[in-house]
Amino acid sequence: MKSIFRLVGLLVLLSGWGAAAMCVYIVRIPDAGNPQQSKLLIVPKNHLGPDGTYVDARTWTMADVKSHPLVIIRVLESGKADDFNFLTDPKDKRNAESQLSDAISDSPAVSAASAPLLSPRTSHSATFSH
C-alpha cells in the first residue's frame, strides 16, 4: 500500500513538471558578464504545447531572430529584451526592444496567427441570440 502511494505521488509530481514545462520557453543566452558562461531565461508561452520549450540562443544573430518570431514576441512582451543586447547593433542608437521588434516585423515567418500578439488587445462584447 505504501508503494502505491509513492507511485501515485511520483506520477502527480512528474505530470505537474510536464505541464509546467509546456507553459514556458526556456531560453539559453550568453552571460553578458562572462562570455564563457550562459544563463537561462524563463519566458511564458502564449499557448500550451511541447514545441520549442528549450531554445538555445547563444549563437544567434539577428537573422535567427526572424526564424523564431514567437519566442522573440514573448520575450518582448515579458520585458526581457535587454537580455538580448548581444544580438543588437552597437552602432544603432535604438534600444534592444526596438531592434528586435523591427527584426521580427520584417520576418515572413510572422503569420496571421501571431499578428494578434503584435497588436494591442481589445475586448469585444459577445451578442447572444435565441
The predicted-structure confidence for 25-70, as pLDDT tens digits, reads as follows 999 999 888 878 999 999 999 888 888 889 999 999 888 899 899 9
Q: Is residue 29 part of a domain?
A: yes
In DSSP terms, which residues pair with 42 in a beta bridge?
26
Task: Name the percent of the chain lying above pLDDT 90.
Answer: 38
Domain span holding position 43 = 23-114
Residue 128 lies in a domain: no
Residue 8 lies in a domain: no
Any domain includes 14: no
Q: Would residue 75 count as lying in a domain? A: yes
125 within some domain: no
Burial class (CB in 10 A: 0-12, 13-18, 19+), 3: exposed
Close Cβ partners of 72 (under 8 Å, ≥ 6 residues apart):
65, 84, 100, 103, 104
Q: What average pLDDT does this structure show over 6-14?
A: 94
Work out how many domains the chain is built from and give that number. Answer: 1
- Of 117, 83, 81, which is closest to residue 99 (Cα–Cα)? 81
